[in-house]
Structures are given as structure tokens and as C-alpha cells.
Amino acid sequence: MTPIRRLDHVAIAVRDTQAALARFGAGYGLSVISSEELERPHVRLTYIDCGNAFIQLVEPLDQTSPIAEFLAEHGEGLHHICFGVDDVPAGAAALAPEGSLPPALGSGRGRASAFVAGDPPCGVPVEVTEFRQDEDVTRSNGWIPPIGPT
């Protein structure tokens, strides 16, 4: 049985959050839900509401960080996908190949998170984060209301 409860976010590595927001925010009419700076790794995480999931913009704030290295090697673009799970360590372990090391825990939006160990499926790394029924389903519209005449 899968531990996955929902798609939480699609993460995009960016060099400049404000430039990315000009396209995703103003350009597509999407709203920023939250933005935070983490010390380890030293990055800015900005979450854009897409109705039933988020786009997470990941900007390095230190040129020696793993995200800066990713950008140098691959350029801007898809960095990982993240699923909501009830139990982060157990979910990451369940999705990893047998015999993988335990996940290293991180955070984002005030929630525990961890990357799934092993070879990423189709070359896309997978992260899991804490699923919260009340915030993620009960109080969520699940869609983006139309703006203007329909």
C-alpha cells in the first residue's frame, strides 16, 4: 500500500525568485502562499498556489549550496516532486529501495520533509512532506477561482 496521500508540490530551481514570480505569479495569475529562507541548505523557498498543489521555487542563497551546483550543471528547471505522507520517515523509507539509508529530515512551510533515497524514478528526485488533512484538504479550495468575467 502506498504512503502517498497527495501531490504536495513540484519544485523548480531558479536563479532569481523575483524573476520567476514575474512569470508564474503575474504572468499566470497565481498567488504566493509563503516564502521563507532556510539556513541549511541556505535557500529561499517560495510556494505558489496552484489549487490542489504548489509550485515551489528554490533559489540558492549561497553559491556553494547543492541548489547552486544543480543550477550550474542543469540550468533552471524541474528539481524534484514532493508527495504528502502521514509519517515522513516511514513514507520516505517505504518509497526507497530496500536497504537504503534512513532519510535525512528537512523542513519547508513548517513541515517535516525528507528526500527518498536511491535512484530517482525517471531521473526526477522525490521528496515527501507531512500531509495535514485540515490544511491540505478540508480548508483548501482544491482549485483556483476564475478572475474576471467567465
Q: What is the CATH number of the domain that holds 128?
A: 3.10.180.10
Domain ranges, residue 128: 4-138
Q: What percent of the chain has pLDDT over 70?
A: 97
Q: How far apart are the first and last CA of the chain?
A: 41
Name the band, by pLDDT with cuts 50, 70 and 90, for residue 30.
very high
CB atoms < 10 A from the CB of 67, how many? 22
Cell of residue 129, nine digits: 512532506
Q: Confirm whether 149 is domain-assigned.
A: no
Domain count, the chain: 1
Cell of residue 16, nine digits: 532569481
Q: Which residues pair with 7 in a beta bridge?
A: 83
pLDDT in tens, 48-77: 999 999 999 999 999 999 999 999 999 999
Q: What percent of the chain has pLDDT over 90?
A: 75
Name the band, by pLDDT with cuts 50, 70 and 90, for residue 142.
confident
Q: Confirm whether 81 is domain-assigned.
A: yes
Question: Is the separation of the CB atoms in 54 and 108 below 8 Å?
Answer: no
Cell of residue 124, nine digits: 526526477
Q: Confirm whether 150 is domain-assigned.
A: no
Question: Is the separation of the CB atoms in 114 and 128 below 8 Å?
Answer: yes
- Secondary structure (H, E, C), 44-104: EEEEEECCCCEEEEEEECCCCCHHHHHHHHHCCEEEEEEEEECCHHHHHHHHCCCCCCCCC
Torsions phi, psi for 25 (to 5 deg): -80, -80
Q: Model-level pTM? A: 0.93
Q: Confirm whether 129 is domain-assigned.
A: yes
Q: Confirm whether 148 is domain-assigned.
A: no
Q: Confirm whether 68 is domain-assigned.
A: yes
Q: Confirm whether 67 is domain-assigned.
A: yes
Q: Confirm whether 147 is domain-assigned.
A: no
